[in-house]
Structure 1
Amino acid sequence: MRYKKNRPEFTPPKARCVKPAEVRLNELMSAAEQLFLAKGVDSTTINEIVELAQVAKGTFYHYFASKNELLAAMGERYTAQFLKRLEDKIDTCKADDWQGRLCAWIQESIEAYADTYRLHDIVYTNHHHHNRTNLEKNAILEQLQVILENGTRVGVWQIAEPRITSLLIYAGVHGATDDIIAYPETDREHFIRVVLANCLRMVGVSEHQA
């Protein structure tokens, strides 16, 4: 009588999991962000970035020619996340509440910048403040300008030059927030109330109307 030999069951090889390019990019940028915040850009190597992201070094060079290109992409991501944070805050107001939406934009601009200034300074060190036509700044300005234009359209305020007023509010809010970053003991709630009152006066809304 013949007995069949016990053969191990055949196990097909597992299919290799190929992540979408967007996921790989975000993993690389998130790993770089973590390392840059902890060690600084100059002290971080590409080898450390790919090791933390768990990708091959070739994958890094598939997307970026250098750390500078990576920083530029991180800057775009930072701006997109910043805009989304402002948009989410604005959308808590009624669609036709333009004064409320302006206040939400100003308040969240202060909060978001104060919360993320270290990453802001890293990704924008090379080009942000000296590039007077940078797309990142323009995207944030356009978001504010839409609020001012619509408020003028329905008579909440009268602004002859919404673009210029947007520039003044943007620069003022950004510059003022640098002060509470420099002096973290500042009462942030009081600071925001004062900034809001000044910005509303700029568009012609008095304190008793606010």
Structure 2
Amino acid sequence: MIPPHASAKPRTKPAEIRLEELMDAAEALFLSRGVEATTISDIVAAADVAKGTFYTYFASKGEILQALAKRYTERFMAEVELAVEQHPATAGEARLRAWIEANIRIYARTHALHDVVYANHHHHERGNADRNAIQQQLSAILESGVEAGLWSLPAPRVTASLIYAGVHGATDDLIAVPEQSPDAFIAAVVADCLRMVGVAAVPSKSAAESARAG
């Protein structure tokens, strides 16, 4: 005979699932209504949980916003890393190209959420751990290229900072003028970034055709 408890369904969802559902609900509401117009009551109603459940995980609306920012950066970095890792460690130029292209495409696709979770962040903040983490990805690529003799950079971390700022700043232009060709835009940004590290960019046939079409 099977004990009664063996077939019983769990009465509550695992904590990690409940947490993700709360964050998903808050993210959707922040995007559709804005942070200020969204209340904790709205979030728990959308997530179908009691208000006490919210306070099990977060002390305030500001705290869940911080958690969403952290999740955004983690997902952003994971997607960039996946693109970079499509190329072997010895293919420094290909990895740099992949990093630049992935940053542009992901940022352009997710800029609405980025602007929500980082609304109170400023580029001049010197302790921005999330920005520094993404720059560290790039620094590692540049430093590996120096070690492999692909390029000569007196200060790879400074170059990484310049490329990071340039790529994300330029992508704002792509977002502002969405009718321009993304492929041509990416080809132009990649070419300029490669020149920064001393590599003459040779665009692929498709990239060159996209640039002419744009």
Hey, what does 2:33 align to over in structure 1?
39
Counting matched residue pairs gives 201
Cα offset, 1:14, TM superposition: 4.0
Where does structure 1 lack aligned partners over 5 or more consecutive residues?
A: 1-9
Alignment partners' CA distance in 1, 2:192 and 2:5 = 70
Tell me, yes or no, if structure 1 residue 104 matches structure 2 residue 118.
Answer: no
SS across alignment from 2:36: coil
1:132 aligned to 119, 126, 129, which one? 126
Map 1:75-114 to 2 at 5 A: 75-114=69-108
Hey, what does 1:49 align to over in structure 2?
43
Q: 1:99 to 1:12 in 2, by over 3 A?
A: closer
Tell me, yes or no, if structure 1 residue 116 matches structure 2 residue 104.
Answer: no
1:21 aligned to 12, 15, 33, which one? 15
Cα offset, 1:64, TM superposition: 1.1
1:135-175 CA-to-partner distances (Å, cap 9, x unmatched) read 10111011100000000100111111011000000000000
Cα offset, 1:209, TM superposition: 9.4
Q: 1:156 to 1:17 in 2, by over 3 A?
A: farther
Cα offset, 1:23, TM superposition: 1.8
Alignment partners' CA distance in 2, 1:12 and 1:24 = 23
Alignment partners' CA distance in 2, 1:99 and 1:202 = 12
- Structure possessing the higher radius of gyration over alpha carbons: 1
Q: 1:105 to 1:12 in 2, by over 3 A?
A: closer
Hey, what does 1:160 align to over in structure 2?
154
- Identical amino acids, percent of aligned pairs: 53
- What is the CA RMSD across the aligned residues, in angstroms? 2.0
Where does structure 2 lack aligned partners over 5 or more consecutive residues?
A: 205-214
- Residue type matched to 2:103 in 1? S
Deviates more, 1:168-177 or 1:13-22: 13-22
Contact between 2:187 and 2:203, CA under 8 Å: does it hold in 1?
no
Alignment partners' CA distance in 2, 1:135 and 1:187 = 32
Tell me, yes or no, if structure 1 residue 72 matches structure 2 residue 61.
Answer: no
The TM-score with structure 2 as length reference comes to 0.88
Q: 1:127 to 1:11 in 2, by over 3 A?
A: closer
The TM-score with structure 1 as length reference comes to 0.90
